[in-house]
Structure 1
Amino acid sequence: MQSTQPAFFKQGPKPLTRLLIFSALSFVLIVGDARFAMLGRVREQVSILLYPLQWLATAPFSAVRTTNDFFTKQTQLLAENRELHDAQLAAQAQAMQLTALEEENRHLRQLTATQASQPQATQLVEILYNGRDPFSAKLIVDRGDKQGVRSGQVAIDAKGVVGQVVRVQPLTSEVRLISDRNHMVPVEVARNQLRTVVYGMGRAQPLEIHNLAPNADIEPGDILRTSGIDGLYPAGLPVAKVIKVDRQATSFARIICVPLAEIDQHRFLLLLEPPAARPPYPAEAPASAPVAKKRGR
């Protein structure tokens, strides 16, 4: 009776034999794949089967890399956005400064043209600040006694009369605006030479003409200019424009005007030289006593 050995004790090829077989098989596969591309299709199929495992293995690293890239780009975008915003603000500030310089340059050209058109000498002054008294309309300019400014000089801009110098310090001067309550300017209507006086009503308030008869020949739109009869304001300077005439208010017409000068819009003014003192009138010669004729004897 033939004895059977349990399968558990069966032995296959020896390890050395297996090594030789698999080495030879590997060599054949390497040579065949290198020379004849025998395993190309097999490699493609295997890569398709292994792709999910490869994706699962690399997914955490890809997620970390993507998250880092997202936050890095987010930080870069925020920094670029901040830089662009700062550059925009700087450009806007430069544009506003350029606009202000262009406006100031235009005003200075107008003052230069006005200066050339004046028969008397003028002096360019810069406004430093408004007067501190809230109940008056005054300006402080940067020229004073040392620069030849004198009390009584008329201040004008390119459009008309601004005011008059009322106080002179060594380095600064005080200009009372025509809108001040204590200021009055003798004027005439340019259309018909009707003489009157225009009064200030306060800072940022219109001007008024008082004590003019209701039937006076003055209409809205009339231009008022200095009459020159006071000896302080040279004749012919534009002062104001009539905007309203109320002939029914009281026994006198109520006439509202607005200054032609752009009082609160610029930094520079022109000061006119004060008019020269008029020579005194010559005294009249006393009448000579009549000479008595001698009667002949």
Structure 2
Amino acid sequence: MEDKRQRARVQGGWAGPANIKRASRSASEVSDPSNQVISSIAQSQVRRAKPIPSERQFAFKAPEEVVRQVPAPVIIEKQGQYEISVLPSGVSRLLLIPDFIDAKEGDWMFEQLLQEVPWRQRTHIKQDLSYEEPRLTAWYGELPYTYSWLTLQPNPNWHSLLTMLKDRIEEVTKHTFNSLLCNLYRNEKDSVDWHSDDEPALGRNPVIASLSFGATRMFEMRKKPLPEENDDYTYVQRVRVPLDHGTLLIMEGATQEDWQHRVPKEYHSREARINLTFRTMYPDLEAV
């Protein structure tokens, strides 16, 4: 009998008031799921209330402005062939041959041309304004040549020295020419402004052979801007070629379509320069 009472006291000890209260609370939580949801929401709100570390906060940063750089001009001085651009219109190429004419031989050629070519200063008329070209010119060929609203009449009577030079250039370049524009730059103040040799009578992708005598002058080129640039030449690619006494420069491919060239005024050379530009005229395209 005593053993049964002892066992009852031991078993009743596990069912004391405190244990009964804990057991009843656990039972109520299990029996009521909403208590679990409320507890979960409360814990979530506590977590949300914690401040977000500063390094994770979003900060707006304005985009950096793209600064365009004016490209430095490419200087071409050594003999060789150069591809200066590749565009949908084609490849623009230059062939430079310094000392194509020996200096001593070039000296007497320069004097012959200076004295015997029928040099003239042309007058341009544009929108009721007239101005004289800042250089002297002469034209040789079976056909007239029109540029900048000025027409040079045919002159088939080639000087023998010019014929010899044309034959020599054709032999080296494997190109043929039937016309020639001669330019005499009397001093550093004479020049020719930006232009392309793209007159219709020259055909598509004309080959221009330029032979220089006398003073060295800088031949400058600039690539024509894209349509969206609105004729802004600020950021276009540029090329400079110093043309020395006896130097031959060949422009071919899409050079006339995609590039312009000029000989600017200079202020350090007072000597004269003669430039011969051989080209091919096509009679069927003259009136196009």
Give the TM-score, by structure 2 length.
Answer: 0.28
Higher relative contact order (CA 8 A, sep 6+): 2
The structure where helix makes up a greater share of residues is 1
Give the TM-score, by structure 1 length.
Answer: 0.28
Determine which structure has more spread, i.e. the larger CA radius of gyration. 1
